[in-house]
Structure 1
């Protein structure tokens, strides 16, 4: 069992390999880098690693590296290696936030002892964060957003960071990727979660009514305004406002929205009184909002007010390994809604699903689940009998079946499944990748098993 993960940065190859060997003998998992820039790219907020780095290095020295790591994650333990001439610098680095430092010539027992303390400190920090996050959030991001692919893990991590930041965010994604789902998740994971979440599709609102809908109106302010109305923006105060298809908003409404964001106040249509509002504004567009602002069809000053940060949703074709888990969930929901039972899916069906490009993204996959339950899917129900009975397809179907049932038997535990099948874990992962199988699909109890 590993004592912890270490990112080791040392430009001297011989010393780096020597330190790596010493630490690995103490059951640390060590990844070595010749430069700080390469090491920095491998780390992220909530990394389960500690860092050991030399101070004197070309390109980026240890102190600069430390400052970058402080911005990334201020609690990440960093142990610096200092020469005799660097002692003063090393002491200063501790004031800057370094965990500690070791002097050259290195004493292995000193380095091992510090690494052990730093690893324990990191494990405790991450556990406290996890407990605090669970306390603050009723539902986790993993429960709200299905998928364990690398791109989805990065999206979830960035989403958690942005949810905790009270800033305006532009959500970018192709049609059908789930922009409103992401917006609702950002709200549910934020400190505003107990306040209103108001979603508005600007493209679905009549142009002559959009300002009244957004900003509200006073009685008699226009024909048909029989009584005072609180607008969507005012109703969302204290919570989150999501503006979808914001590029459809008329320029006059854009000007009024800009003032709301800048001043934190609005005027209802037909009123001279200002109303204070407190908003986190999330927005999305069908096209590239930056390009639209540069073309002059969307106000550039409003774009920069909205785009303090952005969140990019990957298309389904870039995370196909999530398809089995997503499909399992959608089939389960479709069966409940339609009152039908989905047919058994074979490896051939999965190969067809995995080879499809999904231009409609997750929404298309959701609709496909409905069609599968109803037995009308053109994608997987073919009449190509020769293909279905060829030797290669039958062998693939048998291999898929064995893998699926073994993973199901061991609840996605890779080591146990590989031992049972008498193959190396690496080979099991490669075969799972071939059929789009993901171990997380076998860990979530409330998802339907896909046969």
Structure 2
């Protein structure tokens, strides 16, 4: 599979051919152009993932080419190749929308790393636009459990395969991974979609009313039962019952639930009559139910009955490549709900988000996106990015860049957004700091 399609523009034949050969060997599909005018004629934004251009060329230069490309396709990443004297010009061009710049002579491996990020950004933008078009219309499965990682795609495939089958499902995942999202997708994309989806949080219902709540009761079943009540399971007849945090269900009620699951009949509290129910059960847990059953805290027979078909939701730290897409998706959702413009997250912020641990998983990420969409400040260091796994970044240059961005973000926060003070704290010239702020997509903010 190609790493991406690139258009390379440089008026020096040997430089252009050398770069083309290296990028082709590295797995990119490369087209070339000797000048900006030829590049404009050959550029097809629909099939191009990134454009690399020299800044100084006869006729139209790289910065002017950037402006033309931005008019044709604002999301196409443009990487500038600059001489030493053009750095200030390149920094200004980045303010105008350039993706990055490399100072000549550049390291070939570094160019590949920059291109990988640019292509990933390009494909991320394409997926976000696709999701934006889908949200509010048919809401396909891809908009329910968002992600391009192999883990996300595998889970969507399993949901699609199980949705229309009349089998009960056990969903396992850490807090905030989206267990109810998966349960609702199993219901909404299956043949029970027109019937009720009833969600029960087993940890939130007091034990004293639990049996009455889920099984119902007859009039006079207990003091205060002035009339018959239909339980939540019976109410869901024909649809789906979602039992969240099932590990919290009282042991005394687990036997009754097992009988309902096995026989599809229930007995309301205070009644001898049997009520047939046609429901599908989807249970969710953040615990290891096998361990809980071995310890006597959960009925083994109920565990084995539920675990016939199970789905495991991976935590965000195991699907880091989905973090940027999810963040943008949540930003779009928040912006639509609050009727505000969608801000564009910087490359530096996305790198920091991808490096974070996210103990609260997608729920925590959604909260961060909500703050970002509302224009509230995000402390990049507060995400715990320093504790990220050593193999979280794809390569050393990317990891060094992410670490540098976090140090600068922290210095800006310590200096209350004063770049002069931040440059003193970091021990670098103010001009160097300003260039790095632009390169990493950081913007100093005063509280």
Work out whether the TM-score is over 0.5. Answer: yes
Residue matched to 1:290: 290
1:209-358 equivalence runs, <5 A? 209-338=209-338, 340-341=340-341, 343-358=343-358
Residue matched to 1:196: 196
Residue matched to 1:181: 181
- Return closer, same or farther for 1:393/1:222 CA change in 2, 3 Å cut-off: farther
Deviation at 1:182, TM superposition (A): 0.6
Deviation at 1:271, TM superposition (A): 0.5
CA distance in 2, matches of 1:306, 1:243: 11
- Return closer, same or farther for 1:272/1:367 CA change in 2, 3 Å cut-off: same
Residue matched to 2:171: 171
Residues 171 and 313 in structure 2, CA contact (< 8 A), matched pair in contact too: yes
Deviation at 1:400, TM superposition (A): 8.1
CA distance in 2, matches of 1:149, 1:390: 39
Q: TM-score, normalised by structure 2?
A: 0.55
Deviation at 1:280, TM superposition (A): 1.2
The answer to whether 1:375 aligns with 2:361 is no
Deviation at 1:219, TM superposition (A): 0.8
Residue matched to 2:156: 156
1:166-203 per-residue CA deviation (whole Å, 9 max, x = no partner) reads 11111010101010011000111111111111110010
1:132-151 equivalence runs, <5 A? 139-151=139-151
Deviation at 1:395, TM superposition (A): 6.5
Name the SS of the counterpart of 2:203 in structure 1. helix
- Return closer, same or farther for 1:356/1:399 CA change in 2, 3 Å cut-off: closer
- Return closer, same or farther for 1:248/1:390 CA change in 2, 3 Å cut-off: farther
- Return closer, same or farther for 1:150/1:397 CA change in 2, 3 Å cut-off: farther
Name the SS of the counterpart of 2:229 in structure 1. coil
Q: TM-score, normalised by structure 1?
A: 0.55
1:346-391 per-residue CA deviation (whole Å, 9 max, x = no partner) reads 2222221121111110001101112223423222764254479785
1:43-122 equivalence runs, <5 A? none
Deviation at 1:336, TM superposition (A): 3.5
Q: CA RMSD in A?
A: 2.6
CA distance in 2, matches of 1:368, 1:390: 31
Unaligned runs of 5+ residues in structure 1 are: 1-136, 402-451
CA distance in 2, matches of 1:396, 1:171: 43
Residues 347 and 397 in structure 1, CA contact (< 8 A), matched pair in contact too: no
Deviation at 1:338, TM superposition (A): 4.1
Deviation at 1:334, TM superposition (A): 2.2
1:390-416 per-residue CA deviation (whole Å, 9 max, x = no partner) reads 859946955989xxxxxxxxxxxxxxx
Residues 241 and 280 in structure 2, CA contact (< 8 A), matched pair in contact too: yes
- Return closer, same or farther for 1:260/1:350 CA change in 2, 3 Å cut-off: same
Residues matched between the structures, number = 265
CA distance in 1, matches of 2:207, 2:317: 35
